[in-house]
């Protein structure tokens, strides 16, 4: 990869990648709707609103590979999700295709499959079960990524990211934690592995409590270094301070499932 574009540079995951990715890819264009507060003089940054195709065309110009983190990263009102994540992701894939970009790594989310119960181990072949409008937008991103791969030959990798952080912060995150360095490894596979056409991987480290079968990523050489279990005590201590969430505690998506949940009120 000669030059890569990373969208969502000002977000939490983007800010972590700004520290880690330049060691692997020296030529990076960062983008976000707002400029990161701590932008370095040596960092190339171009602001863009992803819902505006003209602005997206500008940021993809001259790019070989894209890491698309941009958009709204939690549940939100429909119009926000529609503009940032649905229109924005369409614009990014369409602009990438028109500009001849060869690869896209799309930051999907565990919330595309959040309504699977925690006692079910799932692989990447399951039907999506989004737990939120946000989760629906991530399922859309995976679907449109597949379309650009199958119809137009873009090489696309979707990462169903769990929770990126220095350590798992509660019991749920013991199952889905992703060490930032392991995310870098997954991005590298997506941007470089010669056999990638369209793939979905789970963005999780080597977690003893995992709900996900990530053998598809392992098939491409993924060897996660992070082990959520190393932080079990502190995660469980944090969990003990949280109140019970009868719906969220049952499903993989946690509080994203219990928010606005009223399926149990139906009597028909």
Query: Binding of ligand 15L at residue 7 (CB under 6 A)?
Result: no
Distance CA 102, CA 88 (A): 19
Q: Which tokens in the block code for residue 160?
A: 């169903």
Contacts of 35 by beta carbon, 8 Å cutoff, 6+ apart: 10, 45, 47
Q: Residue 96 or residue 178: which is nearer to ligand 15L going by CB?
A: 178
Distance CA 232, CA 132 (A): 28
- C-beta of 83 vs 102, nearer to ligand 15L: 83
137 binds ligand 15L (CB under 6 A): no
- CB of 105: closest distance to ligand 15L in angstroms? 15
Q: Report if residue 160 touches ligand 15L, rule: CB under 6 A.
A: no
Minimum Å gap between C-beta 237 and ligand 15L is: 18
Candidate list 25, 90, 134, 148, residue with the active-site label = 134
CA torsion 204→165→185→17, rounded to 10°?
140
111 binds ligand 15L (CB under 6 A): yes
Q: Quick check: 207 binds ligand 15L (CB under 6 A)?
A: no
Q: Footprint of ligand 15L on residues 58-87 (CB under 6 A)?
A: 73-74
Among 109, 137, 157, 205, binds ligand 15L (CB under 6 A): 109
Q: Which of 31, 85, 91, 110 binds ligand 15L (CB under 6 A)?
A: 110
- 163 touches ligand 15L (CB under 6 A): yes
Q: Residues touching ligand 15L: how many (CB under 6 A)?
A: 6
- Closest approach of ligand 15L to the CB of residue 109, in Å: 3
Query: Is 220 among the catalytic positions?
Result: no
The answer to whether 208 contacts ligand 15L (rule: CB under 6 A) is no
What minimum distance in Å lies between the beta carbon of 114 and ligand 15L?
A: 8
Q: By C-beta, is 91 or 108 nearer to ligand 15L?
A: 108
Measured from the CB of residue 160, what is the shortest distance to ligand 15L in angstroms?
A: 9
What residues make contact with ligand 15L under the rule CB under 6 A?
73-74, 109-111, 163
Active site amino acids: 134
């Amino acid at each position: 990869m000669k030059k890569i574009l990373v969208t969502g540079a000002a977000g939490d995951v983007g800010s972590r990648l700004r520290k880690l990715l330049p060691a692997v890819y020296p030529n990076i264009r960062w983008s976000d709707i707002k400029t990161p507060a701590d932008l370095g003089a040596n960092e190339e940054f171009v602001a863009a609103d992803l819902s505006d195709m003209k602005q997206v065309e500008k940021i993809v110009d001259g790019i070989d590979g894209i890491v698309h983190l941009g958009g709204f990263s939690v549940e939100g009102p429909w119009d926000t999700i529609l503009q940032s994540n649905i229109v924005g992701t369409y614009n990014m894939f369409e602009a990438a295709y028109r500009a001849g970009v060869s690869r896209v790594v799309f930051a999907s989310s565990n919330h595309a499959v959040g309504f699977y119960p925690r006692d079910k181990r799932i692989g990447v072949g399951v039907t999506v079960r989004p737990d939120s409008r946000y989760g629906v937008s991530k399922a859309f991103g995976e679907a449109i990524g597949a379309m650009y791969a199958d119809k137009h030959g873009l090489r696309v990798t979707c990462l169903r990211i769990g929770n990126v952080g220095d350590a798992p912060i509660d019991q749920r995150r013991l199952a889905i934690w992703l060490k930032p360095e392991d995310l870098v490894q997954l991005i590298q596979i997506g941007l470089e592995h010669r056999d990638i056409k369209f793939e979905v991987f789970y963005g999780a480290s080597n977690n003893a409590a995992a709900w996900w079968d990530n053998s598809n990523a392992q098939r491409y050489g993924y060897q996660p270094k992070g082990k959520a279990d190393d932080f079990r005590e502190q995660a469980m201590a944090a969990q003990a301070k949280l109140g019970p969430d009868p719906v969220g505690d049952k499903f993989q998506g946690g509080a994203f499932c219990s928010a606005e949940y009223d399926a149990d009120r139906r009597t028909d």
